[in-house]
A = this chain, B = another copy of it.
Amino acid sequence: MMPLRMPLPHPVTTRFFSVQDVAAVIQQMGLPHVFERLAETIRTDYLRWNDFEKCARVANHSRDGVIELMPISDAKTYAFKYVNGHPKNTQGGLPCVMAFGVLADVATGIPEFLSELTLSTALRTAAMSVVAAQALARPDSRCMALIGNGAQSEFQALAFHYLLGITELRLFDTDPRATEKLMANLAHTPLRLTVCASVREAVRGADIVTTVTADKTNATVLTPDMLAPGMHINGVGGDCPGKTELHPDVLRASSVFVEYEPQTRIEGDLQHLPADFAVTELWQLLSGQAPGRVNAQQITLFDSVGFALQDYSVLRFMRDAAQALGLGQPIQLIPELVNPKDLFVLLQAEPHATATPMNKTPQPTAHHTQFKKVTLVA
């Protein structure tokens, strides 16, 4: 049993990691190294698949979008992500996808690390695509079609360039300005960029086809007549009920790989296929329990929807980077109590010493705040 008054409260400061902090990690470590380490982190975590308590994400749907919570935990660490999907947001100058998440200690429930995950989701999605492609694409793949040139496209392009040796991109987007933006952002890389007039033209001759479109419709961006033997399809944009990209016959013509089958059956392009259509979970592939590509003619397909385990991976990667680089900001999300059974004492603190007025420079809150005992007159 604990004494009534402990000498010092248990530290329960949460480290807040902003958009700028994640950008700083990339600038200090370099994007190639970040992708490499992140892919390795994801692979390591997928090899521990059975250690995790998993569930399909919890979605609140509205007319124009969806807001989702994605929890996952092993015996030591709990993670969750908040993420929205609002395809019309760009019309109002906002990203379609915004996210943040938390790492917590399973033993105590303390939320230790609170991070932006918009930028991080783009990183982990691309790293996950590469992890799948390393096992599924033909090793001699050099040319990738990139259908959808929005917010995630540069990350897919560079992850495949750095980690898989892609040297040529064939680009298509229904919005030519999106393609122009991608061209400008990748102009100073060694990637050879070809703008195409249609999906069909972009796909022609590609070893890998990455679809990363945003419309919340049952689109058929890719049809079976566009397929060629030996292709690997990296289907990223079909990730929500009613939001798909691939003709069902594209899946029927392919060996299909998924992150977490129960979730992909609801959210992936797989949603249009019968419940007994066979798929393989990536962890089985990565652990050698299931074969990946078996010959150079086979068409392989990664029906990516984004699973909580990748967010767990990117959160622990960023937490470690934050520690190594000394980045982040302490916030008082959880009270520090001298006596854990005395929450009421918080009301007896002097207000001016503790509250942060909006629009003023906030005070650091990492120190162990000692609340002064002042009598509350009821």
Cα–Cα distance between A190 and B96 once the two chains are bound (Å): 55
A177 at the interface (CB under 8 A from B): yes
- The interface residues of chain B lying within 8 Å CB-to-CB of A356 are 18, 20-21, 327-329
* Given known A-B contacts A9-B93, A347-B31, A361-B361, A334 and B67 have beta carbons under 8 A apart: no
A119 at the interface (CB under 8 A from B): yes
A307 at the interface (CB under 8 A from B): no
A111 at the interface (CB under 8 A from B): yes
- How does the 8 Å CB contact mask read for A72-103 relative to B, with 1 for contact and 0 for none? 11010010101011100111111110101010
* Chain B CB within 10 A, most for which of A20, A178, A326: A20
* Contact call A23/B106, Cβ cutoff below 8 A: no
Number of copies: 2
A354 at the interface (CB under 8 A from B): yes
Q: Which of A128-136, A150-158, A256-264, A284-292 binds B?
A: A150-158
* Contact call B102/A82, Cβ cutoff below 8 A: yes
* Contact call B91/A108, Cβ cutoff below 8 A: no
- How does the 8 Å CB contact mask read for A321-364 relative to B, with 1 for contact and 0 for none? 01000111111111101011111111101010011111111111
CB contact between A60 and one of B4, B71, B91, B190 (< 8 Å): that residue:
B71
* Contact call A340/B185, Cβ cutoff below 8 A: no
CB contact between A349 and one of B2, B20, B65, B361 (< 8 Å): that residue:
B20
- The interface residues of chain B lying within 8 Å CB-to-CB of A331 are 16, 18, 331
* Contact call B69/A60, Cβ cutoff below 8 A: no
* Given known A-B contacts A342-B185, A354-B24, A376-B188, A19 and B335 have beta carbons under 8 A apart: yes
* Contact call B82/A111, Cβ cutoff below 8 A: yes
A195 at the interface (CB under 8 A from B): no
- How does the 8 Å CB contact mask read for A160-171 relative to B, with 1 for contact and 0 for none? 011000000000
Mind listing 9 A-B residue pairs with CB under 8 Å? A62-B106, A62-B107, A67-B104, A69-B80, A82-B104, A90-B340, A116-B335, A326-B357, A326-B359
